[in-house]
Structure 1
Amino acid sequence: MSDITLSAGVRQNLLSLQKTADLMATTQNRLATGKKVNTALDNATNFFTASSLQARSNELSALMDGMSNGVKTLEAADNGLTSITKTLESMQSTLRQARQDKTFQTSTYTLGLGATPAGTEMLSFSGGSVGTTAVDVDLTTNTAAAATTASTATGLTGGTTLAAAGFANGETLIIGDGTDTVTYTVGTAATEDLDDLISAINLDANVDVTASIDPTTGAFTLTADDNTQAITVGGTGAIAGLAAQGVPAAVNEALTVDQIVASINSDVDLKGKVRATNDSGSLRIENQSTQELTVTGVTTTGTIDGDTGTSAIGGNTIRAELATQFNELRDQLDKLSDDASYNGVNLLRGDLLRLTFNETDTSTIDIQTKNAEALNSAYLNLGDIVAQDLDSDNDIDALISTVKAGLNTVRSQSSAFGSNLSIVENRRDFTKAMMNTLQTGADNLVLADGNEEAANMLALQTRQQLSSTALSLASQADQAPLQLF
């Protein structure tokens, strides 16, 4: 092509047309790609800066997936905690129902010992809440027939002289209670009287015998302060008819229904296990247990005789059924804990969830239960119970307290996971905003303005047409010599 010679005008127009074509190609490329910087040759600074911003945005985008999974994992754990809370509330309601239920089984027995049983008789309780070791309750009491007394003939008064009572000067009267004695020595029998003798006996603190004159019969009487003591009479003198007395023979007396009731209800080994009441003169026994109670000392017809016969009183079946219901709820609690997983991670089993928030791994969060333990019935100190665990109201109250403590633990963990969820969601929103900022910044550096490039293309097309026209005119000027021929 170097052999072809172009005129200056044609060459100038040709160069202009070529530049316009190059500009049109560049503008077409920008319109096609939407970018004004497609390679480092277009603008090295903007190209590499935009690439760096876009790369960071892409890395954050990859972390967003982990955060989204973390949010769902926390939501799954929260679903589990919500259901566990409802289960614990149901367990608490079950225990409170057992606490309020008082449908204990009872039996009524009549007394058949008679007024003075031959020996000491017992009513025994075993089984139920009492246990295998029987607890005995006395049905009789061992007492004396009356206090020990010694009396003289009638017709005496406090003013009766000792001489009239049969004493002489210098004689003695020795009164004792079987252990200690008091000695009265007569000084002047004609002037001293029975009041002096009575005062001497009663003022002696060592002898448990009281002397008196019966106001009705006028008998000089000695009475032992304790009905298990004897009265001794001695000395050189004596009051006619006054003789020593031994301790009265003890006898067995049958307790009344009210006395038996008081004895049963005051026994510490039966308290909260067996309750007795007076049922119109009969003894009513209530078995405060879920297990069968055995009463020994009754006949087959329900008469208390203190013998070896037994009677059975059934247990509280409602409380026993509530114990089974409690165990079923506890089992469901563990299953809820095991099923609260998402994508293989179960926070309620103690799994660790680690989330990374930035591309350099310098911002992370570890989410896990307290002490990395599984949040289940064992962790909440809730084991299987048996019917006997609901026998006592105190035991039920203790179980209610344990369930309440479990509820507090679950609510505390739910609060902790809620706080973690708030952190993750907040960080996810922040990351999303950062990605938008990075992408916008990158786009600002490389993206082309479509309107501007379209206007440029229109201007270049006009320039191209004008350049083509100018080139045609220049060519026509070069053709002027041909018109001479």
Structure 2
Amino acid sequence: MSGIVLSASVRQNLLSLQSTADLLATTQNRLSTGKSVNSALDNPTNFFTAQSLDNRASDINNLLDGIANGVQVLQAANTGLTSLQKLIDSAKSIANQALQTTVGYSTKSNVSTTISGATAADLRGTTSFASATASSNVLYDGAAGGTTAASGTTTLGATQGAVTGNTVTAADGSTALSGAITLLGTTAASKLSTSPADGDTLTVNGKTITFRAGAAPASTAVPSGSGVSGNLVTDGSGNTTIYLGTNAAPGATVGDVLTAIDLASGVKTSTITNGAATIGVASAATPSSVSAGGAVTLESSKGADLSVTGNADFLNELGLTSATGGGNATVTATRTTSSASLGSLLQDGSSLNVDGHVITFKNAPVPGSSNAPAVPSGYGVSGNVLTDGNGNSTVYLQTGTISDVLKAIDFATGVQTFTLNGSGGGTLATAVGQAPSTINSSGQLKLSTGINADLSITGTGNALSVLGLAGNTGAATAFTAARTSGIGGIAGKTLTFTSFNGGTAVNVTFGDGTNGTVKTLDQLNNALQANNLAATIDANGLLTITASNDYASSTIGSTAAGGAIGGTLTSALTFSTASTPVQDAVAQTARANLVSQYNNILNQIDTTSQDSSFNGVNLLNGDQLKLVFDETGKSSLNITGVTYNSKGLGLAALTVGVDFIDNAASNRVLTSLNAASSTLRSEASSLGSNLSVVQIRQDFNKNLINVLQTGSSNLTLADTNVEAANSQALSTRQSIAVSALSLANTSQQSVLQLLR
């Protein structure tokens, strides 16, 4: 072919056509493969870099299967832990059933001794008591200076207080006020200018006086328990209704108002019989009155100050206040003390509670006295004291004395007795071997405690402070004093128990309950509780020390349990030999069944831990798991398995007759179960942490593979838009080259035509 001679134009067009064909072939290859670099000849750098990236992505992708298997291994272990926790909870339920089951012993180990005369309140074996004497603060009478000692005759009441109003007149303005002046009426000379309206009231020392229109009812029409006297209806307790009558037939008078006030204050008394009230003046009392000049004088009683509250216009009408108007005003009259009375006066209604008995102080004359109500049925009067014969009394302030108070206290403590005779009287006697309470020359009350109980006095009102019973610690809330007691042989003796089943050793000394000594059963039990022991005492003084329910199977003083008894008390009293506990067959059978159930749970724990595997790897049976996260093997995670069968969790099979036999044995099992439960929770937390790490690395590797593959593609992939355009351009170029080659050939053919 070397002999063939082509023209320059043909040769040039032919070369151009060959170049276009080569380029077109390259472009078509790129379009068909989608890559711009298909071999190292295309672009050595991009080709080998992309190949390296693809190789790494492939290596990492090969690791994903192992990581996925690792996740499942961890999931299997976590599922096993969850099941083991449920089994542990079931075992706890069985142990708790053992705690709630009847104690497995009908009789627990105990030691006992008899203390003559001992009670739960006093274990010392007190056999007798003597009355002691307690002293009050000094009491003074009302003599000037306030330093004169009171005596037994010093009265509780005082000199009556009085308040005298202004001189006033009747409605005519010239007739002097008198007790006969009516509250209503038609004649100005015989009535008040301002009178109360129906329903108006006066309040006198807490009692109520009510004004009513119309005439007083007949004795047959008054409420039960009340009585009528003239224009007054009274309930016998100081509450009174005053009937005003009418203008045409006036009823109530100023004298009636003063009588009602005196009934409320205690200056006057009423005795009610078949609906009729007989009103009299209390002993040695001065009633309220109206002077000849028309001035009203209100008197307090001896037992209480006077306080009258009512309509200001009405009290002004009586000359008792300068206040006017429809509102209320108050008028008072205060008692005065003297050498015959206490310097401090008792308040009406105050009380003392003495050893559970109540002494009440009342502003009234003594029942059965002159102009006073009769003695109530079931009560008796001794001096100025009304008593029920059982230690509850009322001391009457108007004529009562210090001696009466002491008598009432002695009734409450049993130092003195008053045997009722059924007619309002009785027989006063002093208990054998005791002395009544007195007041000494210095003015101190000398209170006998009696032998029935230690003296305890509390009060209401001002009774405690007035009588100098401001508390033995000055708290002014109570006064106490102990009897003199004849102590049994264990006072000062010490009882000891060595540590019983790991409890706190006991070392108690019997005494009065102070300074760390033990007196009561409660105090002894407080000391024994920490040593797993308890004490009881019966009516015969039999003191029994018993093992607690938790250690019902243990014998007190045994080598295994401890709790040996000793101390100086054992030399004064003889304790029995510690008894051995007696099993309750029914209860022990129930506990034995629980042991069997518990052991079945342990078997399930063993099989569950063995079955918690995946693909031959069991992290709960001691296997190890290694996971590789990168192609070099430098990034990895080693997870060491645990052995969580029953033995690995610290749980051992129980033995019938040894375990669950008492609460302590059950609690030991519960302790082990709680520890196992904590272990499982800790391991679950660790597995969860590892699973999180593995899942994070799994996601990381997936994302990294995508990054590597994307990088590889960026280096080798062709831009199909560009290549398609190139293909079109090269096709056009090829067509043009063919045409040019044809033109070149045509010129040569023209020369051939000339040669012809």
Instruction: Name the counterpart of 1:414.
Output: 684
User: Partners of 1:480 and 1:104 in 2: how far apart?
Assistant: 134
SS in 2 for 1:266: strand
TM-score, with length taken from structure 1? 0.58
1:361 aligns with 2:633: yes
TM-score, with length taken from structure 2? 0.38
Residue 259 of structure 1, CA deviation: 8.6
1:328 aligns with 2:597: no
Instruction: Name the counterpart of 1:317.
Output: 589
Q: Is the 8 A contact 1:67 1:428 kept in 2?
A: yes
Q: Is the 8 A contact 1:36 1:447 kept in 2?
A: yes
The amino acid that maps onto 1:43 is N
User: Partners of 2:24 and 2:640 in 1: how far apart?
Assistant: 62
1:440 aligns with 2:710: yes
Aligned with residue 342 of structure 1, among 610, 614, 621: 614
Residue 426 of structure 1, CA deviation: 0.8
SS in 1 for 2:638: strand
Instruction: Name the counterpart of 2:552.
Output: 272
Q: Is the 8 A contact 2:104 2:583 kept in 1?
A: no
Kindly tell me: are residues 382 and 262 of structure 1, through their superposed partners in 2, closer, same or farther at Cα, counting changes over 3 Å? farther
Q: Deviations over 1:175-194 (max 9, x none)?
A: xxxxxxxxxxxxxxxxxxxx
Q: Deviations over 1:22-45 (max 9, x none)?
A: 112212222222221111111111
Instruction: Name the counterpart of 2:744.
Output: 474
Aligned with residue 647 of structure 2, among 363, 371, 378: 378
User: Partners of 1:331 and 1:42 in 2: how far apart?
Assistant: 70
SS in 2 for 1:37: coil
User: Partners of 1:311 and 1:94 in 2: how far apart?
Assistant: 21
SS in 1 for 2:631: coil
Q: Deviations over 1:116-175 (max 9, x none)?
A: xxxxxxxxx8xxxx8xxxx7989999xxxxxxxxxxxxxxxxxxxxxxxxxxxxxxxxxx
SS in 2 for 1:365: strand
User: Partners of 2:84 and 2:615 in 1: how far apart?
Assistant: 21
Kindly tell me: are residues 260 and 355 of structure 1, through their superposed partners in 2, closer, same or farther at Cα, counting changes over 3 Å? farther
Kindly tell me: are residues 6 and 267 of structure 1, through their superposed partners in 2, closer, same or farther at Cα, counting changes over 3 Å? closer
Q: Is the 8 A contact 2:626 2:639 kept in 1?
A: yes
Greater helix proportion = 1
Instruction: Name the counterpart of 2:50.
Output: 50
Kindly tell me: are residues 85 and 314 of structure 1, through their superposed partners in 2, closer, same or farther at Cα, counting changes over 3 Å? closer
User: Partners of 1:328 and 1:375 in 2: how far apart?
Assistant: 16
The amino acid that maps onto 1:319 is R
Kindly tell me: are residues 312 and 328 of structure 1, through their superposed partners in 2, closer, same or farther at Cα, counting changes over 3 Å? closer
Residue 483 of structure 1, CA deviation: 3.6
Q: Deviations over 1:16-73 (max 9, x none)?
A: 1111111122122222222211111111111111111111111111222221111111
Aligned with residue 401 of structure 1, among 645, 648, 671: 671
Instruction: Name the counterpart of 1:232.
Output: none
Q: Is the 8 A contact 2:552 2:662 kept in 1?
A: yes
SS in 1 for 2:35: coil
Instruction: Name the counterpart of 1:387.
Output: 656
SS in 2 for 1:354: strand
User: Partners of 1:102 and 1:312 in 2: how far apart?
Assistant: 9
User: Partners of 1:260 and 1:325 in 2: how far apart?
Assistant: 46
The amino acid that maps onto 1:354 is K
Q: Is the 8 A contact 2:622 2:640 kept in 1?
A: yes
Q: Is the 8 A contact 1:265 1:274 kept in 2?
A: no
Residue 328 of structure 1, CA deviation: 1.2
Kindly tell me: are residues 313 and 400 of structure 1, through their superposed partners in 2, closer, same or farther at Cα, counting changes over 3 Å? closer
Instruction: Name the counterpart of 2:90.
Output: 90
Residue 455 of structure 1, CA deviation: 2.0
User: Partners of 1:482 and 1:11 in 2: how far apart?
Assistant: 19
Q: Deviations over 1:54-106 (max 9, x none)?
A: 11111111222221111111111111111111111111122112212227686
Question: Cα RMSD (Å) of the superposition?
Answer: 3.3
SS in 2 for 1:349: coil
Kindly tell me: are residues 458 and 52 of structure 1, through their superposed partners in 2, closer, same or farther at Cα, counting changes over 3 Å? same
User: Partners of 2:94 and 2:583 in 1: how far apart?
Assistant: 31
Segments of 5+ residues of structure 1 without an aligned counterpart are 107-124, 142-224, 227-256, 276-309
Identity %: 46
User: Partners of 1:337 and 1:259 in 2: how far apart?
Assistant: 60
The amino acid that maps onto 1:362 is K
SS in 2 for 1:390: coil
Kindly tell me: are residues 401 and 29 of structure 1, through their superposed partners in 2, closer, same or farther at Cα, counting changes over 3 Å? same
The amino acid that maps onto 2:606 is D
The amino acid that maps onto 2:552 is G
Residue 326 of structure 1, CA deviation: 1.3
Kindly tell me: are residues 51 and 45 of structure 1, through their superposed partners in 2, closer, same or farther at Cα, counting changes over 3 Å? same
User: Partners of 1:10 and 1:394 in 2: how far apart?
Assistant: 116
Residue 477 of structure 1, CA deviation: 2.0
User: Partners of 2:662 and 2:542 in 1: how far apart?
Assistant: 20
Kindly tell me: are residues 419 and 140 of structure 1, through their superposed partners in 2, closer, same or farther at Cα, counting changes over 3 Å? closer
Kindly tell me: are residues 264 and 380 of structure 1, through their superposed partners in 2, closer, same or farther at Cα, counting changes over 3 Å? farther
Instruction: Name the counterpart of 1:9.
Output: 9
User: Partners of 2:36 and 2:743 in 1: how far apart?
Assistant: 35
User: Partners of 2:40 and 2:52 in 1: how far apart?
Assistant: 13
Q: Is the 8 A contact 2:550 2:662 kept in 1?
A: no
Q: Is the 8 A contact 1:16 1:467 kept in 2?
A: yes
User: Partners of 1:68 and 1:449 in 2: how far apart?
Assistant: 37
Q: Is the 8 A contact 1:105 1:314 kept in 2?
A: no
Instruction: Name the counterpart of 2:368.
Output: none
Q: Is the 8 A contact 1:327 1:384 kept in 2?
A: yes
Residue 441 of structure 1, CA deviation: 0.9
User: Partners of 1:59 and 1:13 in 2: how far apart?
Assistant: 52
**In terms of mean alpha carbon deviation, does 258-267 or 427-436 score higher?**
258-267
Q: Which of 1 and 2 has higher RCO (CA within 8 Å, sep 6+)?
A: 1
Segments of 5+ residues of structure 2 without an aligned counterpart are 116-487, 490-536, 556-581
SS in 1 for 2:610: helix
Kindly tell me: are residues 351 and 16 of structure 1, through their superposed partners in 2, closer, same or farther at Cα, counting changes over 3 Å? same
Instruction: Name the counterpart of 1:31.
Output: 31
Q: Is the 8 A contact 1:84 1:333 kept in 2?
A: yes
User: Partners of 1:385 and 1:87 in 2: how far apart?
Assistant: 16
Runs of 4+ with >4 A deviation = 103-106, 135-141, 257-265, 267-271, 310-313
SS in 1 for 2:620: helix
Q: Is the 8 A contact 2:110 2:544 kept in 1?
A: no
